A and B are shown apart, each in its own frame.
Chain A
Amino acid sequence: MVVIRRDVFSTESTMDQIRTRSWRDYIRATFTMRESLPAWLSRCYFALAILLILTAYTALAYLGDNTLIPTWGKLFHGVGEMWKDPKSGDYVLLKDTIDSYARLVPAIGIASVLGVVLGLYMGTYVAAESMWGRLLNFEENIVPNVAMVVFITLFGFEFKMFAAVIVFGILPVIAGRVYAAVREVHDEHIFSAKTLGASNQEIVWSILFWQVLPQIIDAIRASVGLALILLVATEWVAGQAGYGYRFLRLYRSARMDVVIPYLMALGFMGIGIQVFFNQVQRLLCPWYVREGQ
């Protein structure tokens, strides 16, 4: 018997909500739509999902004549190689991360600055929206990796080309989300600011920017995943270093024992990025309350 707080959507009284539950209640809660679960049970279901994946993987790796899926022993060996290449002595993951992030971070920075400025002004001035809104919408429909042909012609295989592909791909996403956030700001906030003597630029930068900062951070966070996809694809085709280039080499040598740990490492780094952005948002926007919180 465990004491849990039950369904927030129900009309039960507080006394009814806090009462002891049997395992039958947990099973019923599991199969009831939108029924809240105690934290320990949620964690159990997460562990169950991991267990299912590991079991399926083990079955694939050990049963039959499958030679493509590495066994656990090969996988642990692959983790070692992913960390340090026995031939060159390079710290592979670290080196690739430095190479790729040296392209990724400045490109996201450029796209963020441009996207935030465009989004803020498009959301505030109809003229800016008329100028750039449709163009960005059109640009969003061009596949950035195909546009790479143009960027290679213009910039060769240097940093500028990688940055251009990323900026081209994520700029409309950031600008669009910032624009939508600014449009959500009620007219009353703008009119009030004017009655307080704010100039147009003060309204944009001293009020609207700070008011939509949580959505700006969300927009940048959402664009990191897309930026990584674009970068890896570009490095695969035109890189001499970085994640994409590494995956191309691993693919050619059919090293699934390194590829799988590498993918896992990238997944964990992705979670690290999400946590970083969450912390930044919490630090800069203590007033921001997400829906449902």
Chain B
Amino acid sequence: MEARYQVALDCVDVHKAFGATQVLTGINVKIARGQIVAMVGSSGCGKSTLLNMIVGTHEPTSGRILLTRAGESYEVQGHGPDRGMVYQEYSLYPHLSALHNVALGLMLGSTTIPARLVGSITGSWRRARKAQLEASEAMLARLGLAGHTHKFPHQLSGGQRQRVAIARALIMQPEILLLDEPFGALDEETRHDARRVLLDLYDENMKAVQEGGEPPHTVIMVTHQLEEAVHVGDRVIGLSKHWKGRDGRGARVVYDKAAPVFHASDPIRNGRITHQAEELYEIVFDGRDLDPHEHRTFWETVAQGQAEGVLAPRS
């Protein structure tokens, strides 16, 4: 019995500096397909910078970020539709309805001028557009927004807007979905609803794994809420600047552990969540002069067959 997985993302000795300021040092993170990884850390420790490097907005000062598609590994260079991104705010285009926001990525892929000209003559362009809108409508319905397709972003609540943003990223079937504090601007009740969206995605991953297939969604989520990180993620990574022998060399991973797996229908109050959130706080936010390897036990847990969820051992 051992865990079977494919690597979706591999950060190999990634460093990032802005001028003389070192932000990230020696980031080595390997993420398996189907995982939902929550990333936490104090403000300014480089979480969003790491996400931006993965999405291609920023380049690492040194090191490599590798993605895997269909078994082939390749290095991240610039932006691409293989990485979906959802920001805390300003995710949606205000001039497009929810439906057209979601369909935008599909439409952009088929709007070259020659394709439009030829397509309008043959009718294929109109058919393709119809199919794209239907797919987008189905995606919105899947995320519980069936009655809101023709609303503009300013007519939607904060939670609905973030769901539309997630739908827009998911419809592109990215290799990895990156969420930068996606629920940071939401009130507590809406946050819980939004968390369920991610837990539903994880349920889809589990179902795919149980049927012997590939889990479709790999997610990295940056959050400031420790309980949210433990609740939603099947793994939590913590970044901190306070590690042994740092000498102002920026933040690195000081915490990397498996988190308990929950379903959308499970109650939110749970002792395991609270316990791990407290541990996270002590190590990532309150820790001083840490050994950066001491609390990085995720892959050991997997090797020992103790992981839950998509990396649970299978025969």
Interface residues of A (CB under 8 A from B): 186, 188-189, 191-198, 202, 206-207, 210-211, 213, 285-289
Contacts and interface: CB of A to CB of B under 8 A. Distances in A.
Nearest to B165: A192
B108 A189 contact: no
A45 to B, nearest CB: 32
Given A191-B85, A202-B108, A287 B154 contact: yes
Contacts of B56: 194
A195 B80 contact: yes
B106 to A, nearest CB: 9
Nearest to B169: A195
17 contacts: A188-B90, A191-B79, A191-B85, A192-B91, A193-B108, A195-B81, A195-B169, A195-B174, A202-B111, A206-B108, A211-B93, A211-B94, A286-B152, A287-B94, A287-B96, A288-B94, A288-B95
Nearest to B153: A287
A206 B93 CA distance: 11
B93 A194 contact: no
Given A197-B108, A206-B111, A192 B85 contact: yes
Contacts of A196: 81, 104-105, 108, 168, 172
Contact of B91 (A188, A210, A286, A288): A188
A189 B90 contact: yes
A195 B96 CA distance: 17
Given A188-B87, A202-B108, A202-B111, A195 B152 contact: no
A206 B81 CA distance: 17
Contact of B83 (A195, A202, A213): A195
A195 B85 contact: yes
B109 interface: yes
A287 B152 contact: yes
A195 B108 contact: no
Contacts of B105: 196-197
B222 to A, nearest CB: 14
Contact of B79 (A189, A195, A202, A210): A195
Contacts of B95: 210-211, 213, 285, 287-288
Contacts of B87: 188, 191-192
B85 to A, nearest CB: 5
Contacts of B93: 189, 207, 211
Closest 9 CB pairs between A and B?
A194-B79, A196-B105, A197-B81, A186-B90, A287-B152, A188-B90, A188-B87, A195-B85, A198-B108
A181 to B, nearest CB: 12
A279 B300 CA distance: 65
Which of B56, B81, B90, B93 is the most central at the interface, judged by chain A CB atoms within 10 Å of its CB? B93
Contacts of B89: 186, 188
B57 interface: yes
B313 to A, nearest CB: 34
A289 B151 CA distance: 13
Interface in B163-205: 168-169, 172, 174
A285 B152 CA distance: 11
Which of B84, B90, B91 is the most central at the interface, judged by chain A CB atoms within 10 Å of its CB? B90
A197 B80 contact: yes
Contacts of A193: 104, 108
Nearest to B94: A287
Which of B80, B85, B108, B168 is the most central at the interface, judged by chain A CB atoms within 10 Å of its CB? B108
A152 B169 CA distance: 57
B311 to A, nearest CB: 26
Given A196-B105, A196-B168, 14 more contacts: A188-B89, A188-B91, A189-B90, A191-B85, A193-B108, A195-B55, A195-B79, A195-B83, A195-B85, A195-B169, A197-B109, A206-B108, A206-B111, A287-B96
A89 to B, nearest CB: 51
A188 B154 CA distance: 17
A190 to B, nearest CB: 9
Interface string B40-59: 00000000000000011100
Contacts of A191: 55, 57, 79, 85, 87
Contacts of A202: 108, 111
A215 to B, nearest CB: 12
A238 B142 CA distance: 67
A213 to B, nearest CB: 7
B172 A289 contact: no
Contacts of A288: 94-95
A192 B78 CA distance: 13
Contacts of A186: 89-90
Interface in B123-155: 152-154
